[in-house]
Amino acid sequence: MEIAVDDASISGTFVVPGTRVPGVLFVHGWGGTQQQYLTRAREIAALGCICLTFDLRGHASTLAQSETVTRENNLRDVLAAYDRLAARRHVDPERIALVGSSYGGYLGAIASTLRPVRWLALRAPALYQDSGWEIPKRQLHRDQDLPTYRRQLVRAADNRALAACEAFRGDVLLVESEHDAIVPAMVLASYREACTHARSVTYRCLEGADHGLSSDESQAGYLRLLRQWLAEMVETDRQRSDERAARPAAEASPTRPSVAPETPPKAIAPEALPSP
């Protein structure tokens, strides 16, 4: 490249890492905005990740759509944001984390069945019945008895988001708020029970926290927990990649044996065996 200086230019060369970096997609909850996640995104970016926050339809500048937007609409929002992140220069599309809170966690779980996700972090993930998928999301609170539904253990076979968790093969972080009046502990139990095939499941409860993390202590506690977990996940993944890259070619199985297979031992006649 040429670098302008005074009335001339000098030549330079950028040297960048040869490997691409993980991407992290943040999905806010119902009634939230991406602004709530920028601080977290900056902290996670410091780990060597590229992060993306965005506003679901029916929020922020599109708040007027909140009465009509459906779960299908918002799931498509998540997928569109995912695709933009995966296509970003320097992002490794095979190493993407999805971080969702409440409604965003619910959508994020489902999105993991439609796009490759390596790490899934769900804070107080909401749970809805599968019926009424294409009716306005606000109407669900009138048509479904959500408080009763969320106080029972729901099987993965009976819920799309839980079925997605059951099918997930990556690493999972589940975070509960101790004093959550919207997403009770039984919902977290349903998600935890569903993650039967995950490579690892980390479960934490934020002491004294409510659903919206309204106190500074709760916000800081969650950020610290999320950062530590993602740092461990990313570092472990890097170590595995380095080990695979450093593995000698000699360790690979040859396509053809270098020597003839060993001659099978001759059968011994029964009468030749020693008496017991």
The DSSP bridge pattern shows strands 119-123 and 171-177 to be parallel
The DSSP bridge partners found for residue 172 are: 120, 201
**What is the residue type of 19?**
T
**Domain limits, the chain:** 19-242
pLDDT, position 239: 86
pLDDT tens-digit series, residues 166-180: 999 999 999 999 999
Task: Please write the tens of the pLDDT for every residue from 184-200.
Answer: 999 999 999 999 999 99
Count H helices and E strands in the chain, helices first.
Answer: 8, 8
How far is residue 227's CA from residue 40's CA, in Å, rounded to a whole number?
Answer: 8
Please give the Cα distance from 241 to 234 (Å, whole number).
11
CATH number, domain 19-242, options 3.40.50.10860, 3.40.50.300, 3.40.1390.20, 3.40.50.1820: 3.40.50.1820
Q: pTM score, two decimals? A: 0.84
pLDDT under 70 in the chain at which residues? 15-18, 248-276
Query: For the segment 225-254, what is each residue's pLDDT rounded down to a tens digit?
Result: 999 999 999 999 888 877 877 776 545 545
Q: How far is CA 175 from the centre of its chain?
A: 13
Angle between helices 185-194 and 160-167 (to 10 degrees): 40
Share of the chain above pLDDT 70, in %: 88
